[in-house]
A and B are shown apart, each in its own frame.
Chain A
Amino acid sequence: MNKCTDSNIQEMLPDLLHRTLADDARRRVEAHVATCESCQEDLDVLRMVKSAAVFAPSIDVDRVVRQLPPYQTIIPAIERPASTRVVSWLVAASLALVVLGGGSVLMIQSKDSRSSNSAGSNQLPNTIATRPEATKQSPAESGVVPKAVVQSIAAPRPHALALAADVDGLSDGNLMQLMNDMDGFDALPASEPEPVISVDSGDSL
């Protein structure tokens, strides 16, 4: 018996068996099978396999149906109107701008205060000296010093240690305040450090 070389026809034989071929295809396959011994043998085998149904218990349909879950529609997420979504975006953008802008201002201010602190160690006596005068008559008002300059000098309160270079220039009141500030300064260690013992020393062994 010659082996069939038409694999397309061979693959369609189960469809012929189940009568699922379109008319044209069915006629073509039937014509081929009529002249091909190999395909006739294949078809016989397929018929035997199809008819030799394996044991399968009959299924109690009602019992299966009783176990089925009730249908639950998937509830779509509540859609908010487009206008609400636009407002939400605007609010979010505004908040982001406020946070970014505020952060930038804070950074600039902290930078300014640091630079004025370093400069303030030399200028503070003058600042302090000018303060009482400023209370009497503002230099800005008198037209001698611009108001902005006065504010930049007088506004930040320099740290006490920054005044150490020019302590001689402080008045008694300011000196007392500096002493009080130093008492409250907690950056210094509370106790003396322990003496360092060298582990390399051969005497300790």
Chain B
Amino acid sequence: MISSPEGRPEETDLELINRWKAGDSRAATRLVGRHSQALARFAASAGEREGIEELVQDTFVRAFASLDSFRGESTLRTWLFTIERRLMLDRRRSERRSRETVPVEESDHVSEYGALDGLIAEEAQGRVRKSLDALSPTQREVFTLRVQQGLSYKEIAEVLGSTEGAARVHYHNAIKTVKEFLKDE
């Protein structure tokens, strides 16, 4: 069980889900608050520029509408990433002809942690972002899920509908590309 900053044991996702099913709407607020920012970051890392809030909202709406199908075999966050990724793919398919997904540009990257931003050199940040742009979409998804979100290879495989082995290979290729890119810069 996770401990809250106040020292109280924090409720697990499953406990909150059960509370929401029992009619406690505050449990939904806790769940959304716990995972919404990670979902927004994942969408941004995957190259989404517009409608991230709507995407996160749709992810939660879809997830809560089918919470009975969530068996707790994976973590709730992994399950939410899976739903969000499907929504992103659907969105890209429908928008492919009208609008190409623009690769993440330097000007779009602003750290969500304003205070931390001042401490990190802008130049280094820009180089990292450019190195991520050099990755293939799948490599970028695997790499950001692994490095920024801290998911295991098994969880990444679930999100991507792939295998752990494939996730490991993508990770190795991604870190190799990023390292080479940063060396050349």
- Contacting residues of chain B (121-177) with chain A, CB-CB under 8 angstroms: 124-125, 128-129, 132, 143-144, 146-148, 150, 152-153, 168, 171-172, 175
- Whether the Cβ atoms of A71 and B67 lie closer than 8 Å is yes
Do B179 and A45 touch across chains, with their CB atoms under 8 A apart?
Answer: yes
Checking B67, B112, B132 against A55 with a beta-carbon cut-off of 8 angstroms, the contacting residue is B112
Count class of interface residues, chain A? 35 or more
Interface residue tally of chain B, by bracket?
A: 35 or more
Count of A-B contacts with CB under 8 A?
121
Taking CB atoms, residues of chain A closer than 8 Å to B40 are 56-59
A95-119 vs B: 1/0 string, CB under 8 Å? 0000000000000000000000000
B27-46 CB contact bits vs A (8 Å, 1 = yes)? 01100110011011101110
Are A64 and B175 CB-contacts (below 8 A) given A53-B112, A57-B52? Answer: no
Residues of chain A having any CB pair with chain B under 8 Å: 7, 10-11, 14-15, 17-18, 20, 41-42, 45-46, 48-65, 67-69, 71, 73-74
B64 within 8 A of A: yes
Contact call B44/A42, Cβ cutoff below 8 A: no
Q: Is the CB of B179 within 8 A of A41?
A: yes
Q: Which residues of A contact B36 (CB under 8 A)?
A: 59, 61, 64
B41 to A46, Cβ gap below 8 A?
Answer: no
Bound together, the chains give a CA A64 to CA B56 distance in angstroms of: 8
Are the C-beta atoms of B147 and A65 separated by less than 8 Å? no
User: Taking CB as reference atom, which chain A residue is nearest B150?
Assistant: A18
Q: Which residues of A contact B172 (CB under 8 A)?
A: 7, 10-11
A155 to B19, CA, bound (A): 80
Residues of the B chain whose Cβ atoms lie less than 8 Å from the Cβ of A58? 37, 40, 112
CB pair B178–A53 under 8 Å, yes or no, is no
